Amino acid sequence: MRDLLTHWPKISAIISDLDGVTYRGDEPIESAVRVFQRWNDIGLPYAFVTNNSTKSAEEFSVKLNAMGIPADPARIITTSAVAADRLSDLLEPRSRVMVIGAQALVRAVADRDFEIADEDVDAVIAGLDRSFTYEKLTRAQAALLGGAHFIGTNPDTMLPKGGGFEPGAGSILKAIEAASGVTPTIIGKPKPDLVTMALSILGTDRQSTFMLGDQIMTDIAAGHAAGLPTIRVRTGVIEKDPLSISPDFDIESLECIPADAFSTSKAL
């Protein structure tokens, strides 16, 4: 179905991944910038869902707007926020939590009234940590062998960066799981939590709100799990075929979506 430009159903809203769709690392994808500007102009509702736990919604909004993509932080759902919310369901306030990740994840956990600690903890929460060390791995191993909960922000093993890739949070989770024998509870895609939260914020019809992403086994799988039609765009990670699931539409760039597919008053 690559570059299928006919028989598109009406699209009332978009829920989009970030890395690999709107940018690669710190480089904007120019075709995406043009398309999101157009969608904003015609009043198409859209929200972003990201497995990246290294920035807050406000920080992602600043990054996107600086690239020319209009973005409201209230419509950006991050794994750091949703993972921290999950801890609130599991633990009492002031429980001790080990955080392996960026400051955005640390802040999200602390903002929910948990104590950040490295030992005697009730939970380990891990995301992308570019300063991950053997010492951190050892502390996480000890905590999990002692019975702590294990929460992972996402299973992405690699991330687009410039013309190549870098290890993702999933690589760190696999190391901790191998060291401890404990499997993490995953919050981000391919689980549907981020997508269903975005759909609730948009308030649009599930059948005509499309999930947009570059990775089939995370983005498209999350869309399917949430009951949304899906679009894969080939501007980010290209997975090896064959895969166990397929998107409803498979395109080379966002500019392949025809203008008359959008059901807004300004679409034409």
- Is 252 a domain residue? yes
Mean pLDDT, the chain, integer: 92
CB 66 within 8 A of CB 26: no
Give the active site residues. Answer: 17, 19
Sign of CA dihedral 31, 34, 36, 38: negative
Domain interval for residue 123: 83-186
Do 194 and 117 fall into the same domain? Answer: no
**Whether residue 151 is found in the same domain as residue 180:** yes
57 lies in some domain: no
Is 5 within a domain?
no
- Whether residues 90 and 165 share a domain: the answer is yes
pLDDT-derived band at 161, boundaries 50, 70, 90: confident
Residues 169 and 212 reside in one and the same domain: no
Residues 142 and 111 in one domain: yes
Does residue 124 share a domain with residue 110?
A: yes
Q: What is the pLDDT of residues 113-133, one digit of tens each?
A: 999 999 999 999 999 999 999
Same-domain status, 211 and 168 = no
Is 217 inside any structural domain?
Answer: yes
pTM, rounded to two decimals = 0.85
Indicate the pLDDT class of residue 238, thresholds 50, 70 and 90: confident
Contact 230, 224 (CB under 8 A): yes
